[in-house]
Amino acid sequence: MSELSAANVLLVDDLPEQREIYREMLRHAGLRVLEAPDGGTALHLARTHVPDIVLLDVRLPDIDGFEVMRRLKAEPRTRRIPVLLLTAASLPESAGGFVELLTKPVPPRDALAAVRRHLGRPGALA
């Protein structure tokens, strides 16, 4: 049994093909994957399931990833979930709360390696 098999990943990306690529890699590694196509769904799933880690795209159709992250970090139940931020955009100076920034395009193996690095290590970069 993989050391990751009990872990839940919340995968947030508005592009179905991106979610499919990452989902398959993560599942192949033994992770359970929850998926959200937008920020509102991501917040609902995070509050309901409290995943072990979040892989979060910045550009979402409703609430951007920065706001999703801010709301997660503001709630006691979800504040310690590590967030890996996926973006092709530059970050504002005020951006914080994530444990690692992954610059798109992110090869699926690199995303998996980042998830492995941060599972079980709550905390955030300022």
Confidence at residue 23, expressed as pLDDT on a 0 to 100 scale: 96
Looking up residue 47, the CATH number of its domain turns out to be 3.40.50.2300
Q: Give residue 39's pLDDT.
A: 97
Is residue 109 situated within a structural domain? Answer: no
**Is it the case that residue 87 has pLDDT exceeding 50?**
yes
* Residue 73: predicted pLDDT: 95
**Residue 80 binned pLDDT confidence (cut-offs 50, 70, 90):** very high
pLDDT of residue 126: 33
State the pTM of this model: 0.88
In a domain, 49, yes or no: yes
Q: Is 90 helix (H, G, I), strand (E, B) or coil?
A: coil
- Taking residues 75-79, report their average pLDDT: 96
Sorted by sequence, the CB contacts under 8 Å of residue 85 that are 6+ apart come out as 56, 58, 65, 69, 91, 95, 98, 100, 101, 102
In a domain, 101, yes or no: no
pLDDT of the residue at 4: 53
Q: How many domains does the chain have?
A: 1
The pLDDT value recorded for residue 88 is: 83
Please indicate, yes or no, if residue 3 is contained in any of the structural domains.
Answer: no
What is the arithmetic mean of pLDDT over 14-41?
Answer: 96
Residue 120 belongs to a domain: no
Cα angle: 114, vertex 13, 119; to 5 degrees: 25
Which tops the pLDDT comparison, 2 or 112?
112
Residue 123: which pLDDT band, with cuts at 50, 70 and 90? Answer: very low
Domain assignment of residue 61, given as a range = 8-95
